[in-house]
Structure 1
Amino acid sequence: MNRINLASQTCVSPELFHAKVMGEQDLPGVLVSALEGPAGVCEEHVGDLQKHFRLITMQEFMGNKTQLGPKIHAVYIWGGKPAIDRELLQGLPALKIVANSGAGLDHLDLKLLASFGVKVANTPWAVSSPTADMGMALLLAAARRVVEGHQLAISPDTEKFSTNWLGQEVTGATLGIVGMGRIGYKVAQRARAFDMKILYHNRKCRKLEEEEAVGATYCERLDDLLQRSDFVMLAVSLTPQTHGLIGRRELRLMKPTAILVNIGRGLLVDQDALLEALQTGVIKAAALDVTHPEPLPRDHPLLKLKNIILTPHIGSATHQARLQMMENMVESIRASLDGLPIPNEVLLK
């Protein structure tokens, strides 16, 4: 009786309604954080995701682990959520893959996932260009004091503009890129258009033809890059080796006119050391798309400085990039469930 009433409300026959409901139940279950809100998946993507999967929220799962756990074959991580730990994995006996939005994997325990036989895929190609764009936007904004200039221009106290209110030149300056992976290389391509001299520090050299294409010079020692650069951009992944990569010693190696840009992860930088460096003139300025934590506490002293630009981790936050991320994740999940090679599978090193 209830089924017939529901079918009549949706203007379809009871038979078609029953088929639709059964079809939804037959779709592979995918665990998501939520379907709406700041911790949920992108609401624009829900309809497309539901064409392929039965989306099960963390709230639903926690309320009925016994029944729903065996039906979940994949976890869809959007914005770092849901968090995955051993207890969650033990409740997902049919789990085959974790699909992660973005390139960074520091929030995932890859060895733990591998011990449960779970594959991991991410979306590095989708985020490379927009994050590189963001890096250059921050560099330019910090160099030319765009945010300060905006505030000056709109301030009710402004009566005239000083001709001696100056920024830093970008064209012809030296940019040091720490981390010459996909994102770092795209930053170099963009910087080349500004006739910047490009230095880079990486685990290994790029191919000679790749260096020549962007005019990049390899610095085996990070110290050399820091001492020679007018701008230092962090585009490296967070690992135990890169945690706290830029501290007091490293900041003091930089030029007093230098600007630090971070589009990697907040924990790459010792924030207390950065605060001190910005307050005392050890470096000129900083522009950060990432901090630790995110957001910073509202009383954090970094928020009170004029020589810093902070953005809310929006390196990949474009409609186009987020759509590609979703499509890549769907492709990886479907390949895993069909027993096919997984695009962008992350292999444990």
Structure 2
Amino acid sequence: MTDTLTDVLVLRKDTHGVPTTEYADALRARLPENDVTLARTPGEERELIEDAEVVAGMVLDDSLVDYAAEMKVFACAYAGVGHLPLNKLREKGVTVTNASGVHGPNMGEHVLGNILTFARRFNRGFRQQQRREWRHYQTHELQGSTVTIVGLGPIGQAAAERLDAFGVETVGVRYTPEKGGPTDEVIGFDGDAFDDALARSDYVVLACPLTDETEGLIGRDELMTLPPHAVLVNVARGKVVDTDALVSALRSNTIRGAALDVTDPEPLPEDHPLWNLGNVQITPHNAGHTPEYYERLADIVAENVRRIDETGEYEGLRNQVQP
């Protein structure tokens, strides 16, 4: 064990409107002997980061890194780290971890809710309720459907596990299909396998990170490949889908519908046509919200801090993404 316990600094930006005081409290509960400090102002961030070895937060401005003389680990509170000054952190020898796994349960439930909404047409029922209209309408059955899940990280895996009870056939898409996964079939992005999966999918769930390879992954050709009754569910990033091609497909009934938690652009402008399409379900990038967010996040960070205190090493940490 190291001679002194590692100090932890929590930066001030919150997420989903939940104050970071709750995050700091969750870390203190798990690390009662460590010094866990919350920076409440920009000035406090600049001052306190000078001596902090482990810094936890949603974002880390490039300018703030200049003040971080002792920082050894930045524990990002998001799964994605593309918004961070990664090159600068690498140059300073800072290990970066992320929040992978924190969103699995809630986003898996969000995906399932979206699929059930389109299967049982709850959106149609809600509209009729608003009009106090008692009129039967036809629905669909989820059992026997084929669901393709693009991305088999914690979110895609959670969605697949929750779908397992509904008697559906699942196809997982990942860069390394040899790793397998909880879906009935696992394929890669290369060759005809991806197009073949789209052609037989009733639902396509996008749960992949935004990369050079996935940007624009679902465009005009892919939407035309889907069956006309297919529904697209996007909890990944808006840019994974070509928005203009999606609007065109939805207007022409090339596909049955779309459930979008993310859009491009985002936030979606008030005059955007997606708002007024009856076959679209929109949520404001809300799938990631869960009352357990900080608790799960604190589990990851506290485990890493204890490991650092025991070994004095800043490598091999849970959820390490850099270096």
Higher RCO by CA contacts (8 Å cutoff, separation 6 or greater): 2
For the Cα contact (< 8 Å) 1:136–1:191, is it kept in 2?
yes
For the Cα contact (< 8 Å) 1:261–1:288, is it kept in 2?
yes
Decide which of 185, 200, 206 is 1:216's aligned counterpart.
Answer: 185
Which residue number corresponds to residue 165 of structure 2? 193
Which residue number corresponds to residue 147 of structure 1? 123
* Structure 1 gap segments, 5+ residues each: 1-25
Deviation string, structure 1 residues 58-110 (Cα, Å, up to 9, x no partner):
52247xx4x444223333223xxx3432x332222222111122422332343
What number of residue pairs does the alignment pair up? 308
Instruction: Tell which structure's C-alpha radius of gyration is larger.
Output: 1
User: Equivalents in 2 of 1:107, 1:149: separation in Å?
Assistant: 40
- More divergent stretch after superposition (145-154 vs 264-273): 145-154
User: Equivalents in 1 of 2:51, 2:103: separation in Å?
Assistant: 31
Q: 1:242 deviation in Å?
A: 0.9
- More divergent stretch after superposition (197-206 vs 264-273): 197-206
- For 1:33, the aligned partner's letter is R
Q: 1:293 deviation in Å?
A: 4.3
Deviation string, structure 1 residues 177-225 (Cα, Å, up to 9, x no partner):
11123322332222221111222222122456x56xx432536532111
Are 1:33 and 2:12 matched, yes or no?
yes
User: Equivalents in 2 of 1:53, 1:321: separation in Å?
Assistant: 18
Are 1:47 and 2:25 matched, yes or no?
yes
Calculate the TM-score normalised by the size of structure 1. Answer: 0.78
User: Equivalents in 1 of 2:6, 2:186: separation in Å?
Assistant: 51
Deviation string, structure 1 residues 319-340 (Cα, Å, up to 9, x no partner):
2344111332233345446624
- For 1:295, the aligned partner's letter is P
For the Cα contact (< 8 Å) 1:230–1:257, is it kept in 2?
yes
For the Cα contact (< 8 Å) 1:278–1:307, is it kept in 2?
yes
For the Cα contact (< 8 Å) 2:24–2:37, is it kept in 1?
no
User: Equivalents in 1 of 2:245, 2:204: separation in Å?
Assistant: 16
* CA pair 291-335 structure 1, distance change in 2 beyond 3 A: farther
For the Cα contact (< 8 Å) 1:233–1:263, is it kept in 2?
yes
Q: 1:27 deviation in Å?
A: 8.0
Are 1:244 and 2:183 matched, yes or no?
no
SS in 2 for 1:186: helix
Are 1:130 and 2:109 matched, yes or no?
no
SS in 2 for 1:70: coil
For the Cα contact (< 8 Å) 2:8–2:56, is it kept in 1?
no
SS in 2 for 1:152: helix
For the Cα contact (< 8 Å) 2:216–2:240, is it kept in 1?
yes
Percent of aligned pairs sharing the same letter: 32
More helix by share: 1
Calculate the TM-score normalised by the size of structure 2. Answer: 0.83
Decide which of 149, 164, 180 is 2:152's aligned counterpart.
Answer: 180
Are 1:59 and 2:65 matched, yes or no?
no
